[in-house]
């Protein structure tokens, strides 16, 4: 099935609307389409056509958006590259690409440069002369639009192919869950090399709204954007939400919700946000499902309307186009049109490796990773459950719970704790807190205090393997 090109529709309906804004520059949809078409024709003349993967080794910003849409116009799957990777890691990401676009030097087109992989061939016509494919005005929903590499909480990143249909259904599902303001200004501080950040650029083009892109999370810059930038939605992780609350954010006027994902959010942090007047919509998602799987709407319990202290709405109900199931062992299963076609198991479900439960209202509560479960003295311990209790203490900034080898218990429940600036705390105080709230076998056997921050993926997920 084919649909009209997203950028062309946006440029036709709202040519003067800002498509992408950064702290340094902005570009309207009319200008973005013009530049993307020019670059797409240049790529086509270089031999890039439908199905040819193109790596984008670019910082977050306008140039990235231009290159992204140029590739989408050609039907050439984009492969975003995290610029923080080592040379060897970048080589793994770009191994299957025909071309790498980098932000160095000049080309006949503009500021971007390209690097073609050795041995790549240009498209040839019947006579052997180069034949540039026509730049398309439609998107084939079954075709691959992007190849995203997972953030690798298990240590091994994998490539996930996502189709135009996956992205379209994800955008429609997100709009249904959160509502859509025609004047939406969605703040992105997440890496564009990962699905959470890239989805903001793509869905904003589908909506013909504005993506406000920061290259990285900077507390002062985000506070400024929330205060004066007319931001309506901001994508955050628990860590960055905490930093904003620590910095004193309160009642951000135009912000209708902060979409917080990357892992479960501690009830204590939700309560702090509620008291500060920040509307938090928790979301659960993953690369294989093109970002959001479940999302709590702004009016959910624990949000601004009808909120109550200590309420935890969880990660919300599934998007309207998505089905979520729980396997007998507690694993979260997902299926639907947002799921990458190559990620389904033989039973027709995406097996996420995450653990969770669905409450009576149909909302998903994520309890952790299956592989993170600690077996201590024959009892199963969920690290996240223990972490949430520890993070209730006012002196604790963040906590991680892991199992460490122990001759008596097999695995000893161990807590790694980061204190707030200037705070002091004795391990026994945390032990008493845990003992009052948890079964004895869940109470940490040891507490380790560190300056932090705790190691996390670019999308905010805790890297327990680096702590165990």
Kindly report, residue by residue over 57-79, the tens digit of the pLDDT. 999 999 999 999 999 999 999 99
How high is the pLDDT of residue 251? 93
Query: How do beta strands 113-116 and 280-286 pair?
Result: unpaired
Mean pLDDT confidence for 381-387: 88
Q: Is residue 187 within 8 Å of residue 214, measured between CB atoms? A: yes
Mean pLDDT confidence for 23-37: 96
How high is the pLDDT of residue 31? 98
Task: Give the three-class secondary structure for 416.
Answer: strand
pLDDT > 90 fraction of the chain, expressed in percent and rounded: 68
Quote helix, strand, coil % in the chain, to nearest 5.
30, 30, 45
- Name residues whose C-beta falls within 8 Å of residue 118's C-beta, 6 or more positions apart in sequence: none
How high is the pLDDT of residue 375? 83
How high is the pLDDT of residue 466? 86
pLDDT digits (tens, 9 = 90+) for 316-328: 999 999 999 999 9
The answer to whether domain 141-370 has CATH 3.40.50.12780 is yes
Mean pLDDT confidence for 18-32: 97
Provide the CATH number for the domain formed by 1-138 in this structure.
3.40.50.980
Q: How many CA atoms lie within 13 A of 185 on its CB side?
A: 16
Query: How do beta strands 291-295 and 280-286 pair?
Result: antiparallel
Q: How many CA atoms lie within 13 A of 208 on its CB side?
A: 17
How high is the pLDDT of residue 220? 96
CA distance 299 to 237: 20
Q: How confident is the model at residue 273 (pLDDT cuts 50, 70, 90)?
A: very high
CA distance 450 to 361: 39
Higher pLDDT, 378 or 107: 378
Exposure letters 202-214 (e unless 16+ CB within 10 A, then b): bbbbbbbbbbbbb
Mean pLDDT of the chain: 87
Q: Is residue 161 within 8 Å of residue 429, measured between CB atoms? A: no
- Flag whether pLDDT at 302 surpasses 70: no
Higher pLDDT, 121 or 323: 323
Q: How many CA atoms lie within 13 A of 291 on its CB side?
A: 30
Domain extent listing, the chain: 1-138, 141-370, 373-466
Q: How many CA atoms lie within 13 A of 115 on its CB side?
A: 13
Alpha helices in 102-237 (DSSP H): 164-178, 195-207, 219-228
- The token duo for 274 is 């509620």
How high is the pLDDT of residue 142? 97
Q: Please determine whether the domains at 1-138 and 141-370 fall in the same fold group of CATH.
A: yes
The answer, as to whether pTM is greater than 0.75, is yes
CA distances from 416 to 9, 386, 389, 399, 451 (A): 50, 11, 13, 6, 10
- Flag whether pLDDT at 92 surpasses 70: yes
- Flag whether pLDDT at 305 surpasses 70: no
How high is the pLDDT of residue 5? 94
- Flag whether pLDDT at 166 surpasses 50: yes
pLDDT digits (tens, 9 = 90+) for 341-367: 999 999 999 999 999 999 999 999 988
Q: Which of 259, 110, 279, 298 is nearest to 170 (CA)?
A: 259
CA distance 400 to 456: 11
Sign of CA dihedral 232, 233, 236, 241: positive
According to CATH, the topology of domain 373-466 is GMP Synthetase; Chain A, domain 3 (3.30.300)
């Amino acid at each position: 099935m084919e649909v009209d090109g997203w950028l062309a529709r946006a440029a036709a309906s709202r040519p003067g609307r800002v498509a992408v804004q950064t702290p340094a520059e902005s570009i309207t949809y009319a200008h973005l389409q013009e530049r993307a078409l020019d670059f797409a024709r240049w790529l086509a003349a270089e031999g890039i056509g439908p199905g040819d993967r193109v790596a984008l080794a670019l910082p977050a910003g306008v140039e990235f958006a231009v290159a992204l849409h140029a590739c989408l116009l050609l039907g050439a799957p984009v492969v975003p590259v995290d610029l923080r990777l080592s040379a060897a890691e970048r080589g793994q990401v770009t191994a299957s690409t025909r071309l790498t676009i980098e932000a160095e030097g000049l080309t006949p087109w503009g500021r971007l440069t390209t690097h073609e992989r050795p041995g790549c061939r240009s498209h040839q016509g019947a006579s052997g002369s180069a034949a540039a494919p026509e730049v398309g005005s439609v998107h084939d929903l079954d075709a691959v639009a992007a190849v995203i590499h997972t953030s690798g909480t298990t240590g091994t990143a994998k490539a996930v192919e996502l189709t135009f249909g996956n992205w379209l259904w994800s955008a429609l599902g997100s709009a249904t869950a959160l509502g859509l303001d025609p004047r939406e200004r969605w703040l992105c501080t997440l890496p564009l090399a990962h699905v959470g950040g890239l989805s903001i650029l793509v869905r904003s083009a589908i909506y013909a709204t504005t993506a406000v892109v920061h290259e990285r999370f900077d507390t002062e810059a985000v506070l400024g954007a929330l205060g004066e930038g007319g931001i309506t939605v901001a994508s955050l992780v628990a860590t960055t939400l905490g930093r904003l609350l620590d910095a004193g954010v309160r009642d951000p006027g135009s912000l209708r919700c902060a979409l917080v994902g990357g892992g479960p959010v501690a009830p204590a942090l939700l309560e702090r946000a509620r008291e500060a007047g920040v509307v938090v919509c928790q979301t659960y998602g993953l690369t294989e499902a093109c970002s959001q799987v479940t999302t709590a709407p702004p009016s959910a319990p624990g949000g601004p309307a009808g909120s109550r202290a200590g309420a935890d709405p969880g990660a919300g109900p599934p998007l309207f186009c998505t089905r979520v199931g729980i396997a007998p062992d507690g694993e979260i299963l997902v299926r639907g049109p947002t799921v990458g076609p190559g990620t389904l198991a033989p039973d027709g479900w995406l097996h996420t490796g995450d653990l969770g439960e669905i409450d009576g209202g149909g909302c998903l509560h994520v309890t952790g990773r299956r592989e993170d479960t600690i077996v201590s003295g024959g009892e199963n311990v969920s690290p996240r459950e223990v972490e949430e209790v520890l993070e209730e203490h006012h002196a604790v900034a963040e906590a991680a719970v892991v199992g460490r080898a122990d001759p008596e218990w097999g695995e000893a429940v161990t807590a790694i704790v980061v204190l707030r600036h200037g705070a002091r705390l004795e391990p026994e105080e945390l032990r008493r807190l845990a003992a009052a709230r948890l079964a004895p076998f869940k109470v940490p056997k040891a507490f380790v205090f560190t300056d932090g921050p705790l190691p996390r993926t670019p999308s905010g997920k805790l890297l327990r393997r680096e702590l165990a």
